[in-house]
Amino acid sequence: MIFPISETLLAATDGQILSTRPGVKAVRAAAFAAFSLPVQRFVDAEHLYAASGLARARYQSSTLTRRGRISRRGLAEHRDALMGITWGRSQNCGPFRVRDHELRARGMASIQARVALARHACRLCFALLRSQQPFDEQRYRQARHQRER
């Protein structure tokens, strides 16, 4: 069975910190960590998000700049891992569930809301991988509340 192997391998890396979040099991955390570690190679969370291929594509000419659909420049496995983490979080974490409902209430389609949540999940994963501090939902709620003011 693959699950005990992924838990054992994950425990030996910095990626083990990702499994402290509700809704993120060892398989999802291991898959995302495999493509994201070492996290120091990314300048910030936005670069990690762009590497996953979920960032919006940008088209430029001398007079025109527009943004399109997701770029899909990264590895499909990296995108799938991040989307899996996002799905797990939206099912098992109160703040993510609330944010998902807010985005859908604003008229976003299900997949659009999930991609928007994936960006947020990527920033959170980046912060956890950088700090190596376990996820604390109370601290997360406080920080989120302060940013919305």
Q: What is the model's pLDDT at position 134? A: 81
Query: Who's near 36: CB < 8 A, 6+ residues apart?
Result: 15, 42, 48, 51, 78, 125, 126, 129
Higher pLDDT, 74 or 99: 99
What integer is the mean pLDDT of 115-121? Answer: 88
- 0.85 cut: is pTM over it? no
pLDDT at position 6, please? 62
Q: Check pLDDT > 60 for residue 149.
A: no
Whether residue 1 has pLDDT greater than 50 = no
